[in-house]
Structure 1
Amino acid sequence: MAKQSVSIIGIGDDGLEAVSNSVRQLILGADLLAGKERTLALVPEAPGKRLIVGTDLDAVASEIDAAGNAKVAVLVNGDPLFYGLARFLCDRLGNDRCDIIPHVSSMQLAFARVKENWDEAYLTNLANHKLDTVIEKIRGAMKVGLFTTDAISPAMVAKKLLARKIDYFTVYVCENLGARNERVTRGTVAEIAAQEFQPLNVMVLVRDADIPDQPRRSRIRSKFGNADEEFVQSTPKHGLLTPAEVRAVALAQMALHSDSVVWDVGAGSGSVSIEAAQLSPEGQIFAIEQDKEDEALIRENADRFGVSNVTPVLGTAPEVWSDLPNPDAVFIEGSGKEIARLAELAFERLNPGGRLVAVVVSIQGLDEVNKALTQKTSQVQVWMFNIARGKPQLERLRFDSLNPTFLVAAVKG
């Protein structure tokens, strides 16, 4: 005889008041009700036997399975799939045996209350991830949703953020969502650090506009290929910082010596310039940038990494090249016909045996740069990078893809 199906039901803090009549009947008619103690307390009128869900989920699944033909309802706050219990039970009991009935999750309610979308937000649960790791993820995020715990309060999170100089977020603490005593508190990181909140809360952090990241203070840095978060960056960051993985290959292809002269054309926040300076401690690195704010970031990053051989050059290429010494290596990044023209002109200035590396973000730009350089030398190589970085999201690991990138390296024969 087939075993009875298991109803995995999401409910809110208002218990049976906000559920449909069919869901109400499933809960009231269950022979076995499983859930966390607090969740089961929301339905005192349900007469079924109660199974408390604790940390031993295997034991819970075994007892539900052993219930055989009894009617079983598993109660979860919010969306059973969002927090992961439904997925666990489906894996253990089989998808065909589980019926999932979602409710609005507290995370969804929190973002609704503060009127922010959560499409690209970093979401996590402090019950499952170390606070220090989460803080570093917050550093470069635009929006964040946090499930706090009894042991890790919003004030504790805010104090840790302040200690890491991450004070560029507006913070919302959403308490008792869906209940009559619901409250949403808005404040700066410092203001939240000085307050106390009910244990049932969700934190939402929204990054202030146009504020650069404050990079982490790492004790260990590499000569090149350092994490993007090690650099002070402008916002929005897309296209303004060469990703660490691409930067590492680009610098390897530049084949720098201890005293190389390097041009970094369109330096942005200076990540390539800084790492070139570390690889060529006796060399001269010229970070060419037309944006005044980015020039300031180049100086700040050079100071952070302790390199003194980076010279920011404020102005437009190729006009500002006239006063620079001929380079042993050139790095250039961009798209469209302009990068092909600049690559061709920079290649002419290269010293014999010098190398030019171009990072191109469009297929059309790649074609134009490749054609321009192959007319100058037969020593041209081309790569395409499709990179995805692992990112924890609650109990799961997902991958965030970076934009496809093309790299062209040419040697002056």
Structure 2
Amino acid sequence: MTEKKILIFGGTTEGRKLTEYLAARKVRVHVCVATAYGESLLPESESVTAESSRMDVSEMCHRIREYEPAFVVDATHPYAREVSRNIKQACESCGKPYLRLLREAGTFLPEHDMAKDGTAAGPDGRTVWVESAKEAAEYLADKEGKILLTTGSKELEAFTRIPDYRERVYARVLSLPSVVEKCHGLGLEGRHLICMQGPFSAELNLAMLREFQIRFLVTKEAGSTGGFPEKREAAEKAGAVLVVIGRTEEREGFLEEELYAYLKQELSLSDSWELAIVGIGMGAEESLTLEAKKACREAGLLIGARRMLEAVAIEGQVTEEAYLPGDILAAVKRHPLIRKAAVVLSGDPGFYSGAKRLLEALQEEPDFQVRVVPGISSVSYFCAKLHTSWEDAAVLSLHGREDNLIWAVEWHKKTIVLGSGAESVRKICETLKVYGYGALAVTAGARLSYPEEDIRKGSAEEMSSYESEGPVILLIENPDGGESAYGPGVPDEAFVRGKVPMTKEEIRCIALSKLRLGETSVAYDIGAGTGSVAVEAARMAFRGRVYAVERNPEGLKLIRENQEALRAAGLTVIPGEAPEALEDLPAPDQVFIGGSGGRLSEILAAVLRKNPRVRVVITAISLETVAEAKACMEKIRHREEDVVQVSVSRARKAGNYHLMTGLNPVWIFSFTCDEEEQ
């Protein structure tokens, strides 16, 4: 297969960037530029050759025939119209494809009628549009005030027609000997000759305008690449008139992104990027690690939320606001020339950040070389400020997600919570009060690492009126954490009792073991009674959700009381009768049926529609319920069948003796459904 080569007529930033793009992909490129300075800016690569000379049509044809490129790219300046015409003519003569690389301009020459003096004033009254350097000079000839020319050395001669131009005109040009010599020949020297290489910031432009007391700034409309926005901003701040040599919009050709996509397809190229996922700590510069600073500084493209970008972006760096994995990947691919990109995340990438989902998405992206740069997490920073350790703390995030705060507080002496703001702090403190923890100490930290850092401490009761701005981190201290918490087998005496039936402690322990709950299980307790099974199940599935379904008003009241008394925060009470009450509930992993009201078959059918692989445990005392449960099991395809009868006797004291009193024997049916998906 013949190697495909590209011939580029360059001399612009776009041409240099295209050369870098192709060279990085080992495409052979020959670049023709007008000056030695332009040649010196090209990347050094084994696949890139270059020459500097001004060519006419015949010389261009000779070079095209000699090099035999697959494509000829015209990446010359938008104002070099004659050069573009010559390149296009040479391509037509040699039978080679001509690709014009367009520069996307911010504003084009207005199409409305020009004024009588050959100018068109912009809508702000301080911008004057002309079609050529000659027209700019004619406009300025009878005006008063000093002039700064930023149009390059080629157009300087036109401005020598301005009366007193040696005193009025200041020219900013490249610091090339040939350019300086030309300026001296035109009488521009000393302070009137500014030899500098761009790009120029708005601040530097403004400083020059003020230093030389410039009244008119003359520029070409060269888009963002040519620094036009910075010149316009400086002129506006200095109160100077912006004289713009406009250009008519080029209609034929490719914008950068379009040309890269076209060449990528035609040359069968593949893109590749180095992507750093960077934890930047709290956001203040002092909280960045040296590795994080280096990764951000070396990245040509920074991606992240606005607050993160504002913390680390440097002048001239390309930035994209994005935080979802798909948007981040799309942002990187919009910049095929930028080989190094960094996604900036607050805190540490391994701690409640977007890095997890982003890394999962990157597994399907072979064009990315990924590294993760750790940062200082808010937890480590906060605990360091409080002079406390956090290896013995429960750590959870309630920032845009749910978790079982009460379980963490009950079982740990320290609980650290990431909150989303003042409202979340107030909600957390109100929840603590509901479950009897209103007296616990709560310390809140906001705007960590910034000068306005705010750290406050009080009881949950006091902090329930907390006000602050921005994300908040909390430390909740429970001196009795883990010491008074019940494990499996909550004593019957711990429950609020009534006249509603309750599954006793021993039966409850066996039934729950048969249920096989996990910490994230979704479970139903149907016919919940006083809620003893539901409450203990919610304590076991502390990161899941348990739904207690009960039709008896007294039972519903008892369930809620027991929920608060035994801190079963993961429990939701559902008033109503099954199976109708199950309709809007999420699919369960496990179902406990302690009371069915004679509708066991209907209940099981409803549960199976939600999850054909559900785990079921049924308790029965009456022979009729035993028969019904056995008949239902025979109609359901299932596995891991287990049927036990449990008889429990409890001792009671009679004088100096202890006598055993038997409880009603209980049948426990357990099985895992194995029905086909409908």
Normalising by the residue count of structure 2, what TM-score does the alignment of the two structures yield?
0.33
Alpha-carbon distance in 1 for matches of 2:434, 2:302: 44
What are the residue-to-residue correspondences of 1:127-276 with 2, within 5 Å?
Answer: 127-129=400-402, 134-138=404-408, 140-142=410-412, 143-150=414-421, 152-167=423-438, 169-209=440-480, 212=484, 221-222=528-529, 225-228=533-536, 229=539, 230=562
* 1:99 Cα deviation from its structure 2 partner: 0.9
Alpha-carbon distance in 2 for matches of 1:219, 1:173: 40
Equivalent residue for 2:307? 38
Equivalent residue for 2:331? 63
Q: Deviation string for 1:342-395 (max 9, x for gaps)?
A: xxxxxxxxxxxx79xxxxxxxxxxxxxxxxxxxxxxxxxxxxxxxxxxxxxxxx
Q: How many residues align?
A: 265
* 1:19 Cα deviation from its structure 2 partner: 3.7
Call closer, same or farther: CA 1:31–1:183 in 2, change over 3 Å. same
Cα RMSD after superposing both structures: 4.6
The answer to whether the 8 A contact 1:153-1:199 is kept is no
Alpha-carbon distance in 2 for matches of 1:180, 1:220: 57
Letter of the aligned partner of 1:126 in structure 2? H
Q: Deviation string for 1:77-136 (max 9, x for gaps)?
A: 11012123222222222386211101111123233434142455141233122xxx6455
Alpha-carbon distance in 1 for matches of 2:401, 2:275: 26
The alignment-based identity, stated in percent, is: 16
The answer to whether the 8 A contact 1:164-1:216 is kept is no
What are the residue-to-residue correspondences of 1:325-336 with 2, within 5 Å?
Answer: 325-328=660-663
Task: Find out whether 1:25 has 2:282 as its counterpart.
Answer: no
Return 86-95 or 68-77, whichever deviates more. Answer: 86-95
Equivalent residue for 2:210? none
* 1:165 Cα deviation from its structure 2 partner: 3.2
Alpha-carbon distance in 2 for matches of 1:186, 1:125: 19
Structure number with larger C-alpha Rg: 2
The answer to whether the 8 A contact 1:123-1:146 is kept is yes
* 1:65 Cα deviation from its structure 2 partner: 3.6
The answer to whether the 8 A contact 2:399-2:419 is kept is yes
Q: Secondary structure at the match of 1:97?
A: strand
What are the residue-to-residue correspondences of 1:390-405 with 2, within 5 Å?
Answer: none
Letter of the aligned partner of 1:225 in structure 2? V
Return 185-194 or 158-167, whichever deviates more. Answer: 158-167
* 1:34 Cα deviation from its structure 2 partner: 0.7
Equivalent residue for 1:269? none
Q: Deviation string for 1:204-259 (max 9, x for gaps)?
A: 2122326756999999835763332457569xxxxxxxxx999x9xxx9998679x
* 1:17 Cα deviation from its structure 2 partner: 3.6
Q: Secondary structure at the match of 2:533?
A: coil
Letter of the aligned partner of 2:410 in structure 1? G
Letter of the aligned partner of 1:91 in structure 2? E
What are the residue-to-residue correspondences of 1:321-360 with 2, within 5 Å?
Answer: 322-328=657-663
Call closer, same or farther: CA 1:138–1:219 in 2, change over 3 Å. farther
* 1:10 Cα deviation from its structure 2 partner: 1.0
* 1:145 Cα deviation from its structure 2 partner: 2.2
Alpha-carbon distance in 2 for matches of 1:169, 1:139: 10
For structure 2, the 5+ residue unaligned runs are 1-24, 26-270, 487-493, 497-524, 540-561, 568-589, 595-616, 624-645, 667-678
* 1:68 Cα deviation from its structure 2 partner: 3.4
Alpha-carbon distance in 2 for matches of 1:220, 1:146: 35
* 1:6 Cα deviation from its structure 2 partner: 0.4
The answer to whether the 8 A contact 2:304-2:344 is kept is yes
Equivalent residue for 1:121? 394
Task: Find out whether 1:49 has 2:318 as its counterpart.
Answer: yes
* 1:15 Cα deviation from its structure 2 partner: 3.8
For structure 1, the 5+ residue unaligned runs are 235-243, 259-279, 289-312, 330-353, 356-413
What are the residue-to-residue correspondences of 1:280-359 with 2, within 5 Å?
Answer: 286=650, 322-328=657-663
Call closer, same or farther: CA 1:159–1:92 in 2, change over 3 Å. same
Q: Deviation string for 1:262-316 (max 9, x for gaps)?
A: xxxxxxxxxxxxxxxxxx9xx9985x7xxxxxxxxxxxxxxxxxxxxxxxx7x9x
Call closer, same or farther: CA 1:22–1:105 in 2, change over 3 Å. closer
* 1:157 Cα deviation from its structure 2 partner: 2.0
Return 162-171 or 71-80, whichever deviates more. Answer: 162-171
The answer to whether the 8 A contact 1:3-1:69 is kept is no
Aligned counterpart for 2:381 among listed residues 88, 100, 109: 109
Alpha-carbon distance in 2 for matches of 1:85, 1:36: 11
Alpha-carbon distance in 2 for matches of 1:14, 1:120: 24
Call closer, same or farther: CA 1:85–1:213 in 2, change over 3 Å. same
Alpha-carbon distance in 2 for matches of 1:14, 1:158: 27
* 1:168 Cα deviation from its structure 2 partner: 5.3
* 1:138 Cα deviation from its structure 2 partner: 4.7
Alpha-carbon distance in 2 for matches of 1:192, 1:9: 34
Call closer, same or farther: CA 1:23–1:158 in 2, change over 3 Å. closer
* 1:74 Cα deviation from its structure 2 partner: 1.1
Equivalent residue for 2:278? 9
Equivalent residue for 1:292? none
The answer to whether the 8 A contact 2:287-2:449 is kept is no
Letter of the aligned partner of 1:4 in structure 2? W
